[in-house]
Amino acid sequence: MNQNPVEEGQKFPLTIRRMGINGEGIGYFKKAVVFVPGAITGEEVVVEAVKVRDRFTEAKLNKIRKKSPNRVTAPCPVYEACGGCQLQHVAYSAQLELKRDIVIQSIEKHTKIDPTKLKIRPTIGMEDPWRYRNKSQFQTRMVGSGQVETGLFGANSHQLVPIEDCIVQQPVTIKVTNFVRDLLEKYGVPIYDEKAGSGIVRTIVVRTGVKTGETQLVFITNSKKLPKKREMLAEIEAALPEVTSIMQNVNQAKSSLIFGDETFLLAGKESIEEKLMELEFDLSARAFFQLNPFQTERLYQEVEKALVLTGSETLVDAYCGVGTIGQAFAGKVKEVRGMDIIPESIEDAKRNAEKNGIENVYYEVGKAEDVLPKWVKEGFRPDAVIVDPPRSGCDQGLIKSLLQVEAKQLVYVSCNPSTLARDLALLAKKYQIRYMQPVDMFPQTAHVETVTLLQRR
């Protein structure tokens, strides 16, 4: 193995050749690869080696000798400490180009497919790439003599960065979070202490229906107890009429997962309503729903363009969540079937179908890799499949089922280019990749969503 020529603490000049999948700059020093967060393609910089590994070096940016024309000043005051966004220092047009390149890099790294032979389209961006997130999950902590802070953990750390305003969040989510934070402080409610495992309130989760104005607040707690509950609910109801649902979720696990399994109603109704493509959706506390409702409609339009539907097809919506994608297409096919592992999501999906007057849908709780083969055994064969898996990609069992089922059309909606590329390498045995369409669902971050159309060979 090559010995890395770089030593820890060493400072050296570097030209940034490309940006990586996490939005970091990439350069080469004596042929050894160097990753530099905050550096942009084309810049000449001076860096300092922070972590030296056999095959690469992580360095910090010390000085910019030649600045990229795409460099802008990040408008967020805690941008560098927070780590929630990675690209605020990059002009938006260049962010969109980078996201297409991230898809190309993933294909290069995880497959034997030549990306120059693929149709990878330019990224679809937003007119206004700020204030788009409809949901916030802010951690709480106690500082000094009873002061409560809310914010996010810094990049690769468990240090809380206090956040007074987040400019990629819908303003109402911040307003509600800050109001609740002040109430917790006012009433001296015990705040969860991760090290000691003591205290009660861990996280404040707020989600808003952008088209309906309905907002849900969830207290994530370390126990069923929530002291001063009555007083706090009375103040919230008086000051924040937009909060139509207040829930409590109990999570006693020592893990980085936000939600536990038990959720109950404190005030208002169990779920909030949101509208998407003329349809109405009920969202319960744990149900998955896209975080950028503006771009979700663009994303679904791209899925619609990808599918050729005559009205006689059967369609599977794998990882269906609250049924959004499948129900958007129910009027264009004979039958839609969906599955999801979260029972509340399936309840929501059934309720949403009823609400929207959709009768040709069927939902089942379970893993896609278990449910699809079972349906096939029962004699059901889908003509088209939409998969919209979590960041971990499709389960290998589901890939196997998809290769056996051989649906004519397969649309893969991905939120992680690396797992998308890994899955495409396997699906390529039976499917041809017609094109890939990146969509920017999370401006200012290195995340990219991709709609890939696959057709049976």
Q: Hey, which residues are catalytic here?
A: 415
The values of phi and psi at residue 142, to 5°, are -100, 130
Total residues found in the chain within this entry: 457
Pair type for strands 262-268 and 243-250: antiparallel
Q: Cβ distance 201 to 190 under 8 Å?
A: yes
Whole-angstrom distance, CA of residue 59 vs CA of residue 20: 14
**In the block, residue with structure tokens 């911040």:** 174
Instruction: Evaluate whether 8 touches 49 at the Cβ level (below 8 Å).
Output: yes
Q: Which of 400, 348, 351 has the alpha carbon at shortest distance from 372?
A: 400
Cβ atoms of 262 and 249 closer than 8 Å: yes
Residue among 451, 360, 367, 371 nearest 405 (CA): 371
Rounded to 5 degrees, what are φ and ψ at 234? -60, -40
Q: Which residues of 140-174 are buried (b: 16+ CB within 10 A; e: fewer)?
A: bbbeeeeebbbbbebeeeeebbbbeebbbbbebbb
Using a 10 angstrom Cβ sphere, with 0-12 exposed, 13-18 middle and 19 or more buried, the burial of residue 194 is middle
CB-count exposure of residue 270 (10 Å: 0-12, 13-18, 19+): middle
Q: Which residues pair with 246 in a beta bridge?
A: 217, 267
